[in-house]
A and B are shown apart, each in its own frame.
Chain A
Amino acid sequence: MAEPALSIRGLTKVYGNGFQALKGIDLDVQQGDFFALLGPNGAGKSTTLGVVCSLVQKTAGKVSIFGIDVDKDFAKAKYQLGVVPQEFNFNQFEKVLDIVLAQAGYYGMTSREALPRAKQLLTDLGLWEKRNGSARMLSGGMKRRLMIARALMHRPKLLILDEPTAGVDIELRRSMWEYMRRINQDEGTTIILTTHYLEEAESLCRNVAIINNGDIVRNTSVRGLLAELNTETFLIDTSEAITDIPKIEGFEVKQLESTQLSLEVHRGQRLNDVFSALSEQGIQVVSMRNRANRLEEMFVSMVEGSGQGAIDQRVEKQEERV
Chain B
Amino acid sequence: MNATQTLIALWTLVLKEIKRFTRIWPQTLLPPSITMAMYFIIFGNLIGSRIGDMDGFSYMDFIVPGLIMMSVITNSYSNVASSFFSNKFQRSIEEMMVSPMPNWVILAGFILGGMARGLGVGLIVTIVSLFFTRLTMEHPLLTVLVVVLTSALFSIGGFINALLANKFDDISIVPTFILTPLTYLGGVFYSISMLPEFWQGVSMLNPILYMVNVFRYGFLGVSDIPVGWALAAIFAFIIVLFSIALAMLERGKGIRS
Contact = CB atoms under 8 A, between A and B. Distances in A.
B9 A108 contact: yes
A185 interface: no
Q: Assign chain B's interface to a size class.
A: 20 to 34
B94 A107 contact: no
Interface in A55-97: 55-57, 74-76, 78-79, 81, 83, 85, 87-94
Contacts, number: 88
A110 B8 contact: yes
Contact of B102 (A57, A75, A98): A75
Contacts of B49: none
Interface stretch (B11-19, B118-126, B196-204): B11-19
Contact of B92 (A50, A81, A91, A107): A91
Q: Which of A15, A81, A87, A106: most chain B Cβ within 10 A?
A: A106
A54 interface: yes
A178 B79 CA distance: 43
B25 to A, nearest CB: 14
B27 to A, nearest CB: 12
A103 interface: yes
Interface stretch (B83-91, B136-144, B149-157): B83-91
Interface string B51-92: 000000000000000000000000000000000001100111
Q: Assign chain A's interface to a size class.
A: 20 to 34
Contacts of A91: 20, 86-87, 90, 92
A108 B94 contact: no
B94 A78 contact: no
A53 interface: yes
Interface string B89-107: 0111011111111100000
B1 interface: yes
Interface of A: 15, 50, 53-57, 74-76, 78-79, 81, 83, 85, 87-94, 98, 101-103, 105-110, 150
Given A54-B97, A89-B91, A91-B87, 20 more contacts: A53-B98, A54-B256, A55-B97, A55-B98, A56-B256, A75-B100, A78-B98, A78-B100, A81-B98, A83-B94, A83-B98, A92-B90, A102-B13, A105-B9, A105-B13, A106-B96, A107-B99, A108-B2, A108-B100, A150-B95
24 contacts: A55-B98, A57-B257, A75-B1, A75-B102, A76-B100, A78-B98, A81-B98, A89-B90, A89-B92, A89-B94, A90-B95, A91-B87, A91-B90, A91-B92, A94-B16, A102-B12, A102-B13, A103-B95, A105-B12, A105-B13, A106-B13, A108-B1, A108-B100, A110-B8
